Amino acid sequence: MRLLLACCLGLTVTCFACAEDVVGQPIAPWEPGTLDIHQISTGRGNAGLYILPDGTTLLVDTGEQPVKNPKHTPARPDDSRLAGEWVARYIRHALRHDEQPALDYVLLTHFHQDHLGELSPGMPASPHGYILTGLTRVGEDLKIAKLLDRGWPDYANVASTNARFMTNYLAFVKWQTGQNGLQVERFVPGRNDQVVLCREPKKYPQFEFRNVGSNGEIWTGQGTNTERRMPSLDTIPRKQWPDENVFSSSFLMSYGKFKFFNGGDQPGIRKNSPAWYDIETPVAKAVGPVDAAILDHHGYVDSMNEFFVATLRARVWTLSVWDAHHPTTGVWQRLQSEQLYPGPREVFATDVHPDARLAIPGLERMASDHGHIVLRVAPGGGSYRVVIVDDTSESHRVTKTFGPYPSR
């Protein structure tokens, strides 16, 4: 049952607590004023759908890893379709409130196959000259208004421009910009005007999307100011360019008191690398505490350093995962450590591999280790819930609910 209540500002808002998600029932539709953050479980890469308070839509990454690998969990819901097709179908269902579902924004955090789409023999081709995998598959099905990536327009800072998955992506961008009206921009750290509400912005002034880091340049937390963390690529021999993950684009989304961070695959633990490989530390200084965040680099061994975990001190951590090596024991221990920060916290994962369950002590304390993860932030951002949705079929059935949690 949904009721209309008058809030303290005298505006009429939908009563969030009444739009209940019930275990065993399909997830309730998105409602105006709500911020929905979906981490879609495909078993083959990251895919995040964000429905902003006025209905503006943002897709962050869509990966595809088509070759079967025993270190990976099974494809979700199954392998009868490629990941990009499942994601497009998921998006259409999540946007069923909209007569003409489309993507106002796509953000590609970095150029890796688990975020963009790998190629393999036999994959379907678009009539426009590229293979349909991951993001290009979604773009074939849903109109995209604006694409943000870290390389536009010349992609000169991408080491793998000649790799097949990259030439395929560039063919997609070329056709979409030339023939289908796609706008593309380079993601610029520090800015808060590259992703904006495009339907009813005046209705939700408490929403902000802040670009944090990209290409080794990081927001300072003040205005739109940034600092370069990485030396100019001109000074580094191409063969010694850092791993693609170091270039990841990251963002901070705020809605009233609610804050959410996504760092792509940014690393924070150097191993035998220069100090500037630690992107997490300066990012954490700019971002500060948040309510919820996605784990950097799927919780891999080079991510989630102590300072980052202690500074963000999220109440809710989400983890996009399908690989036996993600997360790692060290990351799990840091997430659990009350020495790094006090108080309760919950971890939700899209699909933890059975080997990781066996190898990591205490992983059974994870609040949920499989399923689509949906954060539903109440109108105004004062509280949020976590809804877990069945990923083994397209039932969209709720399997668990958590919260509401008050935003800090």
Task: Summarize as ranges the residues that interact with Zn ion (CB under 5 A).
Answer: 114, 265
Nearest distance from C-beta of residue 297 to Zn ion, angstroms: 6
Nearest distance from C-beta of residue 394 to Zn ion, angstroms: 25
Q: Which is nearer to Zn ion, 118 or 265 (CB)?
A: 265
Q: Cα(330)–Cα(404) distance, rounded to whole angstroms?
A: 29
Q: Which two tokens stand for residue 270?
A: 């150097």
Q: Which is nearer to Zn ion, 291 or 296 (CB)?
A: 296
Closest CA to 335 of 313, 353, 351: 313
Q: Cα(295)–Cα(297) distance, rounded to whole angstroms?
A: 6
Tell me the backbone φ, ψ of residue 35, rounded to 5 degrees: -105, 115
Q: Which is nearer to Zn ion, 262 or 383 (CB)?
A: 262
Residues in contact with 188: Cβ distance below 8 Å, sequence separation at least 6, in sequence order: 194, 211, 214
User: Residue 123 carries which side chain, given as an amino acid letter?
Assistant: M
Q: Which is nearer to Zn ion, 273 or 337 (CB)?
A: 273
In this structure, what DSSP letter does residue 103 have?
Answer: E
Q: Which is nearer to Zn ion, 165 or 258 (CB)?
A: 165
Q: According to the 3-state scheme, what is the secondary structure of 273-337? A: CCHHHCCHHHHHHHHCCCCEEECHHHHCCCCCCHHHHHHHCCCEEEECCCECCCCCHHHHHHHHC
Burial of 40 (0-12, 13-18, 19+ CB in 10 A): buried
Q: Which is nearer to Zn ion, 114 or 280 (CB)?
A: 114
Q: Which is nearer to Zn ion, 278 or 323 (CB)?
A: 323
Nearest distance from C-beta of residue 114 to Zn ion, angstroms: 4
- Tokens 């949020």 belong to residue: 384
Q: Which is nearer to Zn ion, 104 or 296 (CB)?
A: 296
Nearest distance from C-beta of residue 245 to Zn ion, angstroms: 7
Nearest distance from C-beta of residue 325 to Zn ion, angstroms: 12
Pairing of strands 12-14, 346-349: unpaired
Nearest distance from C-beta of residue 112 to Zn ion, angstroms: 5
Query: Dihedral, CA atoms, 355, 353, 303, 337, nearest 10 degrees?
Result: -70
Nearest distance from C-beta of residue 280 to Zn ion, angstroms: 15
Angle at 63 between CA 334 and CA 139, to 5 degrees: 140
Nearest distance from C-beta of residue 299 to Zn ion, angstroms: 11
